[in-house]
Amino acid sequence: MAKLAFFDAEHVERVTPEKSWRAIAFAAAGVTALLTAGYEVFWRGKGLEAGDYNNTESLWAEARRSVKPDSTVIVGSSRIFFGSDLDAWEKTAGERPVQLALQGTSPRVFLTDLANDESFRGLVIVGVTVPIFFTRDGGLRADYLDHYRNETLAERADHQLMKRLEAIFAFLDEQSRPKRQIKIWPMPLRAGMEPRFDPRKLEALGPDRNAHLWTRVERDERYREEAKEIWALGLSNRGRPGPDGKAPPNPRDMLPGVLGEVEANVNKIRARGGDVAFVRFPYEGAYTPAEDAGFPRDVFWDRLGPATASATVTWHDYPELQGYVLPEWSHLSKSEATRFTLALVPILYGEIEKKRNAR
């Protein structure tokens, strides 16, 4: 029987070099530390800060699990997300809301989730960005709900570890990752290609999802103008056919179904002793004609309150909610968000009380 070839191979002894492995280990650790420090200094120079947490599915799931039966919960899109100062809200109302708003995402799917939660009987504050609210039931981050329902123990452990690291290192921000930088790099477009709607970093986020507009958006004119260009691109794409070649449905045709869905969810929460209120945050610039003409107030917003018998507050109706700084047309600056929240909360709770007394 023939022997296998590798049995005939010459035996080779590999001698470990006589080196100071301890010194090599210390040198490798030192180089790693220097490179890490350099990367940290570079990104801090770009405005990133330690304690600015990534808006991950696990961070959202942690906030969702913190909802108690009588909690006040905020759902909505980025305007109420960046524009609600939870510290100022707590100081004014005596309670700290749970922040569940998400950028680019309709709050309707999350209102449905709370309505179907038999243990919940609290207050839901719904931030309404009209073009999103009345055309989508979810949006870019609707899958956060699935993560919350199916999150594994390993994912929870990973999240807790990352939170501790994010409290120390600024460079762990998703914006700084090489993959993200390559994706948003302004490379020349090939023939037939169109610019991609892909917003850059806009927010800074605390451990309980208390968010505010990133200060670089306020201070860096070039970065701010890039944000406006991206919003203008998104507005120009609205109503265009999707990848399947089909035009999106007419929002007016969707309106009866949307109002019926929201009314049913509000009634579920109210039947358990809870309540729901709706709020519109300020906007300006290119968003004004897009929202005011594209989604006339009397057709969309003004029908929401009567359909649900809920309190509704829009910045258009109150001088105290007007005249704020919105660096890139759509979101309040950090300091203005605090001032706006202090003005909004008494008005909102007063309207909620009026509606309760009128029912």
* The predicted structure's pLDDT at residue 9: 56
Cα–Cα distances (Å) from 274 to 94, 126, 160, 279, in that order, read 18, 14, 32, 17
* The predicted structure's pLDDT at residue 238: 74
- Which 8-state DSSP code applies to residue 340? H
DSSP string, 205-261: E-TT--EEE-HHHHH-HHHHHHHHHHHHHHHHHTT---TTSPPPPPHHHHHHHHHHH
Query: How far apart, in whole angstroms, are the C-alpha atoms of residue 281 and residue 317?
Result: 11
Rg, the chain, Cα only: 25
Consecutive sets of 10 residues in the chain, 359 residues long: mean pLDDT of each?
54 75 91 94 94 96 97 97 98 97 96 97 98 91 95 96 96 88 79 77 96 95 93 80 66 95 98 97 95 95 97 97 96 97 98 91
Cβ contacts of residue 277 below 8 Å, gap of 6+?
A: 123, 124, 125, 126, 310, 311, 312, 313, 348, 351, 352, 355
* The predicted structure's pLDDT at residue 16: 74
* The predicted structure's pLDDT at residue 297: 97
CB 81 within 8 A of CB 211: yes
Cα–Cα distances (Å) from 168 to 37, 63, 154, 160, in that order, read 12, 21, 22, 13
> Which CATH superfamily includes the segment(s) 45-175+200-239+246-358?
SGNH hydrolase (3.40.50.1110)
> Domain residue spans in the chain?
45-175+200-239+246-358
Closest listed residue to residue 312, CA positions, set 272, 268, 347, 358:
347
* The predicted structure's pLDDT at residue 245: 57
CB 227 within 8 A of CB 199: yes
* The predicted structure's pLDDT at residue 5: 53
Q: How many CB atoms are located within 10 Å of the residue 51 CB?
A: 14
